[in-house]
Structure 1
Amino acid sequence: MTAYFLTGTDTDAGKTVIATGLLAAARRRGLTTAGGKPVASGCERTSAGLRNTDALAIQAVCEPRLDYAAINPVALAPAIAPHIAAREAGEPLTVARLAPPMRSLLADGSGFTVIEGAGGWRVPLAGNESLSDLARELGLPVILVVGVRLGAINHARLTLEAIQRDGLRVAGWVANIVEADMPRMEDNLDALSYWLGEQGGVPCLGVVPRLTAPTPAAVADLLDIDPLLSRSMAGGNNPQDGRPS
């Protein structure tokens, strides 16, 4: 089993685009796949209940198919910060609430699992908890999605430092181009490669340009999941593998 917690440098960094691309790439390798979105705000009311477009996108690339509730156990209607939406809805947004359904997802033993966070690494939950505490509780290695726009270098460095300070391993990073007309694009990508790769020791899994139709298959074409699978084949990847030995 290979499993990762996926986070981004900010809201709208492209986490779901990359998560679905990674799952599609794993399916091409013949692996079973599973994805989780433990909490999502901005959900739409449907006849089946609250549904989030990101969670539905993840569900579409899970093989075998998973029930929606297994992927997104806490769905919130307002398109606002999850901890505020949860408080208004009277939902207990705690690690104790979110961890059990994600552990159940991991226990199914899919060949490749991605659990996608919300917003960035320090998105608050209830009280003093943050979503990063869920990643720590699950003990998963982390994939960092860098939304490439002005300010991305600072956001990426700070996020990498925070993840490592929390005792988790960053298994790979993806450059997702958010601002296609960003000045000095190559210089910025070079700086990210230096600070995350050469200095941070984290492999780059791909550079994804701003796509007109970012389908999972199109994104999978641009990603290299070998660094994620090689560790698993070498010694296994379990829910405690994210903590450095």
Structure 2
Amino acid sequence: MAKKTFFVTGTDTDAGKTFIASALLHKANSEGLRSLALKPVASGSESRDEGLRNSDALILQEAMSQELDYEQVNPYAFAPAIAPHIAAEQADVRLNASRLAGFCRGALFTPHDFSVVEGAGGWRVPLNDREDFADLAKELGLPVILVVGLRLGCINHALLTLEAIKRDGLAVAGWVANHVDPNMSCMEENLETLKQRMTAPYLGFVPNLAGKENAALIASQYLQLPESNN
């Protein structure tokens, strides 16, 4: 079976990238696929005896079926919950797409069938003064899964992000509608508009599951995996 690897991005911060990525991992596991996940850069990390640990990276590590050391899942962890390139500057660390891609490629040698590489924030979040996370996706040449956080303004955010990904020359393997704001007005109408206008495969709608135990596992039941890497 050929490996299927995807880059996960979102319409903005808190669109639910990690939540949906972990749900997709659970979905893959349920279908008998060996799953793997990477979070190359993460800010907002907690200091522990073993070093800085990011909650999103830990969620992905727990959801995937294959074993990787934390440092392989998340090679760059920063303490402040701020933009990654600013956190890196404060830590006197230079991030660049080529080096990050090298870390990812090394980890992806681990035997698996389905894997995700999760970005940070949205598509244009900077890595340094010249590159952003889109450059990492381009360096890896991965098709993209776009997580659309359903809230006021999501249609514009989703369409602009989709346009940017395609303009950067990458395929969009699919998009997920994640209901992040339970108080959103006209949610159904907004979702229908997105379905009509998003020119990419629709992978599913995940209702708001905030506070529910095993939410990502539940969410996996609402999703389908992307068809292929092409």
- Match for 1:40 among 28, 39, 42? 42
User: Aligned partners of 2:216, 2:112: CA distance in 1, in Å?
Assistant: 18
> Which secondary structure does the structure 1 equivalent of 2:175 belong to?
strand
1:120 aligns with 2:122: yes
The answer for the alignment partner of 2:189 in structure 1 is: 187
Please give the residue correspondences for 1:62-73 in structure 2 after superposition, counting only pairs within 5 Å.
62-73=64-75
Q: CA deviation at 1:28?
A: 0.6
User: Aligned partners of 1:34, 1:20: CA distance in 2, in Å?
Assistant: 10
The answer for the alignment partner of 1:2 in structure 2 is: 4
User: Aligned partners of 1:14, 1:152: CA distance in 2, in Å?
Assistant: 13
Q: CA deviation at 1:173?
A: 0.3
Instruction: Please tell me whether the aligned partners of residues 98 and 139 of structure 2 are also in contact (alpha carbons under 8 angstroms).
Output: no
> Which secondary structure does the structure 2 equivalent of 1:143 belong to?
strand
The answer for the alignment partner of 1:206 in structure 2 is: 204
Q: Once superposed, what is the RMSD of the aligned Cα atoms?
A: 1.0
Question: Counterpart of 1:80 in structure 2: which amino acid?
Answer: I
Instruction: Provide, for residues 6-38 of structure 1, a one-character-per-residue CA deviation record: whole Å limited to 9, x for no partner.
Output: 000000000000000000000011111100001
Q: Identify which range, 209-218 or 65-74, moves more after superposition.
A: 209-218
User: Aligned partners of 2:105, 2:20: CA distance in 1, in Å?
Assistant: 22
Q: CA deviation at 1:215?
A: 2.6
TM-score by length of 2: 0.96
> Which secondary structure does the structure 1 equivalent of 2:204 belong to?
strand
Q: CA deviation at 1:217?
A: 1.1
Q: Identify which range, 204-213 or 164-173, moves more after superposition.
A: 204-213
> Which secondary structure does the structure 2 equivalent of 1:92 belong to?
coil
User: Aligned partners of 1:58, 1:215: CA distance in 2, in Å?
Assistant: 13
Fraction of identical pairs, as percent: 54
Instruction: Please tell me whether the aligned partners of residues 34 and 105 of structure 1 are also in contact (alpha carbons under 8 angstroms).
Output: no
User: Aligned partners of 1:164, 1:109: CA distance in 2, in Å?
Assistant: 29
Q: CA deviation at 1:126?
A: 1.2
- Match for 1:97 among 96, 99, 105? 99
> Which secondary structure does the structure 1 equivalent of 2:222 belong to?
coil
User: Aligned partners of 2:125, 2:215: CA distance in 1, in Å?
Assistant: 27
Q: Identify which range, 56-65 or 167-176, moves more after superposition.
A: 56-65
Count of matched residue positions in the alignment of Structure 1 and Structure 2 = 226
> Which secondary structure does the structure 2 equivalent of 1:107 belong to?
coil
Q: CA deviation at 1:108?
A: 2.2
TM-score by length of 1: 0.90
User: Aligned partners of 1:99, 1:194: CA distance in 2, in Å?
Assistant: 34
Please give the residue correspondences for 1:1-245 in structure 2 after superposition, counting only pairs within 5 Å.
1-196=3-198, 200=199, 202-211=200-209, 212-213=211-212, 215-225=215-225, 228=226, 230-231=227-228, 237=229, 241=230
Q: Identify which range, 128-137 or 96-105, moves more after superposition.
A: 96-105
User: Aligned partners of 1:163, 1:96: CA distance in 2, in Å?
Assistant: 19
> Which secondary structure does the structure 1 equivalent of 2:112 belong to?
coil
Unpaired segments ≥5 residues, structure 1: 232-236
User: Aligned partners of 1:135, 1:106: CA distance in 2, in Å?
Assistant: 14
Runs of 4+ in 1 over 6 A off after TM superposition: none
